[in-house]
Amino acid sequence: MLPSAHDFWLRNVRIPHCFLDETVNHRSVIESLAAAPFLEDLVAADLQIQSGQIAAISPVGTASPESPSVDLARSLVLPCFVDLHTHLDKGHIWPRQSNPDGTFDEALAAVMEDASHWDRDDLYQRMEFSLRCAYAHGTQALRTHFDAFGAMAETALEVLAVLQSAWRDRLIIQAVSLVSLDYYLTDQGEQLAQLVAEHGGILGGVAYPNPDLTQQLDRLFDFAAEYDLALDLHVDESLDPASQVLRAVAETKLRHSFENSVVCGHCCSLSVQSTADVAATLERVKAADIGIVSLPMCNLYLQDRQPGLTPRYRGVTILHELKAAGIPVAIASDNTRDPFYAYGDLDGLEVLTHSTRIAHLDRPIADWPLAITRTPADLMGLPTVGRIGIGQSADLILFKARSFSELFARPQSDRVVLRQGQAIDTTLPDYAELDALLGAD
């Protein structure tokens, strides 16, 4: 039980050292903590919270016995999660529209069929359900793509505007348009760019290899520059080594001297390309200052799926190599209970746990927890989110786990989420709430 006071201490906690290296501004505090680190790059500390902010991060034993406090018995403390790539407009349609064979093509067809249901009420109920899940799990900010062909864009943006307003004190929500890039060569493409700008959104789309790719990318970057928009693209979501759209995006950004943020998601084909091709692409991506977001759970689900055969390839991009090249790398949820991914719950811990297992982000875990916290926050332009530091808002997740081994071994459903130093209700919404909407029995 946490103290009810506005000034209290969390005693005897363990904080991943990666969060302290750049977020604690007092060098003497860092040195005193780092002098006695525990296993797995964890630091022992007492953490003081005053009026919703972190007032002190000090060696264990600093907290006065007279101060309101709670002994967390070496429990892990992480900042709240930041989910850089989601699809709230598709979320939870699985009971109404599943994927018959689990492939990408069938997922695309199933979503197109289900889109006839996507009126304002349908979108609002499913999106709001997803936000409640994310919030209860400890997410503080997320970015969602929304299908944006024709009238779909205005409907989705209207719903998202309502949700952004209703949730503004709990969740930061960013919206990205999603169309194939040939759409931007049409008059509707420019109208979409204008609409996204009016709603303060991000311009995006799916970039496929095709003869007109250069023209499509040039037009997209022209619109982004004209309307001062950031870009977020789906690229190379396949296991075709000839798919090298990521390199084309980087070259286009350099050619246009484009200064706004660019994020590219998936990048699966990097995992099957030659060493020379990978090196050439990473050199351009680094030069162009492009951030990468990997979606390990969804890509593992869809890629190399063949009836009756065990998959040979994971479909996950080369996270270690990207990071080693100095390229910002984030991990995120992607789809949730829809034809592209039948599972998921917008839980940042699940993303980190499965990504660690899938992509071997351990031995050591080092600073990989930044990939679901500070790194995506930076790519979203949120300099005070996903951090633990003196003067920062006390937006924290407290786990009973005392090590990463314990953290990744269980779902941690008993976690405590603090927002501005106060524990929130972490009760998850009941799937039965969506039964009537989805026509479930």
Q: Using only C-alpha atoms, what is the Rg of the chain?
A: 22
Kind and range of the H or E run holding 31:
helix 27-34
pLDDT interval class at 25 (50, 70, 90):
very low
DSSP 425: P
Residue 23 has pLDDT above 60, yes or no: no
- Across the range 297-309, mean pLDDT stands at 95
Tokens of 162: 């309502």
- Across the range 264-270, mean pLDDT stands at 98
Q: Which of 35-44, 103-112, 167-176 has the lowest mean pLDDT?
A: 35-44
Question: Which runs of consecutive H residues, i.e. helices, occur in 186-244?
Answer: 187-198, 213-226
The reported pLDDT for the residue numbered 440 is 73
Going by C-beta distance under 8 Å and a sequence separation of 6 or more, which residues neighbour residue 439? 95, 96
Written as one letter, the residue type at 59 is P
Percentage above 70 pLDDT, the chain = 95
237 is an active site residue: yes
Peptide bond into 65 cis (omega under 30): no
The string of pLDDT tens digits covering residues 87-138 is: 999 999 999 999 999 999 999 999 999 999 999 999 999 999 999 999 999 9
The string of pLDDT tens digits covering residues 359-371 is: 999 988 999 999 9
Same fold, 7-79+387-423 and 81-379: no
pLDDT interval class at 41 (50, 70, 90):
confident
Residue 26 has pLDDT above 80, yes or no: no
> Distance (Å, rounded) from C-alpha 20 to C-alpha 26?
10
Burial grade of 56 (CB within 10 A; 0-12, 13-18, 19 or more): middle
> Distance (Å, rounded) from C-alpha 374 to C-alpha 308?
41
Residue 61 has pLDDT above 80, yes or no: yes
> Distance (Å, rounded) from C-alpha 367 to C-alpha 41?
9
The reported pLDDT for the residue numbered 21 is 55
The reported pLDDT for the residue numbered 40 is 73
The reported pLDDT for the residue numbered 4 is 78
Residue 31 has pLDDT above 80, yes or no: no
pLDDT interval class at 3 (50, 70, 90):
confident
Residue 195 has pLDDT above 50, yes or no: yes
pLDDT interval class at 403 (50, 70, 90):
very high
The string of pLDDT tens digits covering residues 221-247 is: 999 999 999 999 999 999 999 999 999
State the catalytic residue, choosing from 40, 128, 237, 350. Answer: 237
> Distance (Å, rounded) from C-alpha 395 to C-alpha 12?
18
Taking phi first (over 0 means left), then psi (-120 to 50 degrees means alpha), and beta for anything else, what does residue 291 get? beta
> Distance (Å, rounded) from C-alpha 364 to C-alpha 249?
32
Domain ranges within the chain, ordered by starting residue? 7-79+387-423, 81-379
CATH of domain 81-379: 3.20.20.140
Contact (Cβ atoms closer than 8 angstroms) between residue 223 and residue 193: yes
pTM: 0.96
Residue 401 has pLDDT above 60, yes or no: yes
The reported pLDDT for the residue numbered 152 is 96
CATH of domain 7-79+387-423: 2.30.40.10
Identify the bridge partners of residue 206 per DSSP, sorted by sequence position.
180, 234
pLDDT interval class at 5 (50, 70, 90):
confident
